[in-house]
Amino acid sequence: MVTDHIRYDLLVQEALRSVVKRVLETVERNGLPGEHHCFISFRTDAPGVQMSPALRQRFPREMSIILQHQFFGLKVGDTAFDVGLHFGGIPERLHIPFDAIMQYGDPSVGFQLSFPSDEDDEEEMLAAEETETGDDEMSPAPAPVKLAETPPPAPRGAASEPTLLPAKAAPAKPNRAPREPAPRDEAPADAKVVSIDAFRKK
C-alpha cells in the first residue's frame, strides 16, 4: 500500500471546512435567506470549544445545533465562530472551532458534509500500518500436520466401543487352493509411497 505523504485527505477536509466558514460569514452579514438553515454537529471535548459547565455536563462528547430562527450574536473568525442560542429558555453562548465540527448540513436543499474525527484518523493509520506489515509478519505459522493414530470416531448415536460378535467360519470352496496372505511389511509393487513431508508447507 502506497503511503500518502502529501495527505490529500487533510487538504480536502480543510477545503470543505472553508465552505462552512464562508456560509457562516454570509449568514453573519445577510442572515438566512428563504428556508435555508444550518445543522452543525461538533465535538464538545475538542480543544478550544467553550461552553457553560451546565451544557458541558449535558453534552460531554458531542452536540448538535440548528441555526435558523432563534440564534443571536453570530461572529465568524478565522479558526472558530461564536453564536448564541437558547436552551430551555436560558441564553447560552458557544465558541466552536471549525476543526471541532463533525457534520454540517442544510436540510432545505439536501446538502451535507461529514468530517472524520481524530479517533477515526488514528484507526485508519493503524489499519494502514497493519496492511503494510504484510502477511508474513501478521499471519500465524501453520500448525504441523499430525497423523491420526486412532480410527475416526463412531457416528453420532453409535456406541462408544463396537460390540464384537463371534465370527462364523466360511464354507470351504472345493477345487481351489488357499491363497497365501501377503506379508504386512511389504507394499505392492505398484503402490505409491507418499511422505509426510509432501504435506508440510514449504
> What does the alpha-carbon distance between residue 144 and residue 101 come to, in Å, rounded to a whole number?
53
Bridge partners of residue 85, in order along the sequence: 71, 92
Bridge partners of residue 71, in order along the sequence: 85
101 in any annotated domain: yes
Residue 85 burial (CB count, 10 A): 17
Selection from 63-67, 134-138, 189-193 with the highest mean pLDDT: 63-67
> What does the alpha-carbon distance between residue 61 and residue 169 come to, in Å, rounded to a whole number?
86
Q: What is the CATH number of the domain that holds 111?
A: 2.30.30.220
- Is the confidence at residue 14, as pLDDT, over 60? yes
Q: Which amino acid is at 106?
A: D
Selection from 8-17, 146-155, 186-195 with the highest mean pLDDT: 8-17
Number of domains in the chain: 1
> What does the alpha-carbon distance between residue 56 and residue 92 come to, in Å, rounded to a whole number?
12
61 in any annotated domain: yes
Distance of CA 74 to the CA centre of its chain: 38
C-alpha to C-alpha distances, 112 to 8, 14, 94, 107, 148, nearest whole angstrom: 20, 16, 22, 8, 62
> What does the alpha-carbon distance between residue 10 and residue 69 come to, in Å, rounded to a whole number?
33
Domain that holds residue 30: 8-123
- Cell, residue 15: 477545503
Q: Which of 182, 202, 201 is nearest to 191 (CA)?
A: 182
- Cell, residue 48: 478550544
pLDDT in tens, 51-85: 999 999 999 999 999 999 889 999 999 999 999 99
Task: Look at the pTM and tell me if it is higher than 0.85.
Answer: no
| Confidence band for 179, pLDDT divided at 50, 70 and 90 | low
24 in any annotated domain: yes
CB 110 within 8 A of CB 120: no
pLDDT in tens, 90-111: 999 999 999 999 999 999 999 9
144 in any annotated domain: no
Residue 143: per-residue pLDDT: 52
103 three-class SS: strand
49 in any annotated domain: yes
193 in any annotated domain: no
Average pLDDT of 142-166?
A: 47
Residue 4: per-residue pLDDT: 86
Sign of CA dihedral 82, 16, 46, 104: positive
